[in-house]
Structure 1
């Protein structure tokens, strides 16, 4: 992903999420700036259709929704998949699966031990199909963070086998 792709990112986000989950351009640009190698953008026939924002993250609480990151806390042991979104015209074509597989392979190559994310908008089954499962410890601080992501949001994670590749 390049900074010039942000206009397309914002259009995809508007088509994919309800208003309460829309993040500012500043928030997403900060993620791209901090970890450009783990953010991807896809076009079909010259039109923006999908993106995936991810960044290294420690084994702590997830980052807050719609707050620009100014740094990535250390030490990082996981890839945090912050957002995967597809324009409706690109759904059910395998693009989301391909982007996730690419991100997970990148994380393995970086020798991360885990991948983490917050599942929203009834996406639990999609993420489970990739090997993610709910994190067991739901302490009050985690529950508070999850509340900002909407009803039914859950913190998911998976262990990464460095020998496995999905692409």
Structure 2
């Protein structure tokens, strides 16, 4: 693990959205989501949104919220509201600039969100793994779930996108 001083996750604020959009554009250029789509995730569930800073400069973010197991929010689409029958904690996006990788930041925020999901009573966490990240998510306790009904939505992310679930209760 790389040692960098002065790094921390903190709760995201509305003032961070320009930084979030800039990081998203650099980290996920093939997965464009409009600024209003990213902002809506923050507005719908602020308790799941964090900014990672290196020497007080934005270097990554996490967007997450409760959701319905076995379903996916469409990429680059407004949700309007969270579903009524929430039963999983969904990690929508974890993005880190290259300078923030290898310092343990991703594992720390996933661990913190797992504790949050347990405290909120969710039996699972779920996500879509992209950019060859399946092995990282497996190390965090997630497993690929074969859900043929999600194939169309998964292919909108990328050809090798995988739906993954972590059982926590």
TM-score normalized with structure 2 length: 0.90
- Give the C-alpha shift of residue 34 in structure 1: 0.5
Q: State the aligned residue count.
A: 158
| Structure 1 residue 149 corresponds to structure 2 residue 160 | no
- Which of 22, 33, 39 in structure 2 is aligned with 1:11? 22
**In the alignment, which residue of structure 1 is the partner of 2:46?**
36
Deviation track 1:22-49 (CA, whole Å, cap 9, x = no partner) reads 2111001111101001111111112101
4+ residue runs over 3 A deviation: none
CA distance in 1, matches of 2:60, 2:112: 13
CA distance in 1, matches of 2:166, 2:146: 12
**In the alignment, which residue of structure 1 is the partner of 2:90?**
80
Consecutive unaligned residues of structure 2, counting only runs of 5 or more, are 1-11
Root-mean-square deviation (Å): 1.0
Consecutive unaligned residues of structure 1, counting only runs of 5 or more, are 162-167
Structure-to-structure mapping, 1:11-160, within 5 angstroms: 11-18=22-29, 20-139=30-149, 142-160=150-168
TM-score normalized with structure 1 length: 0.91
- Give the C-alpha shift of residue 105 in structure 1: 1.0
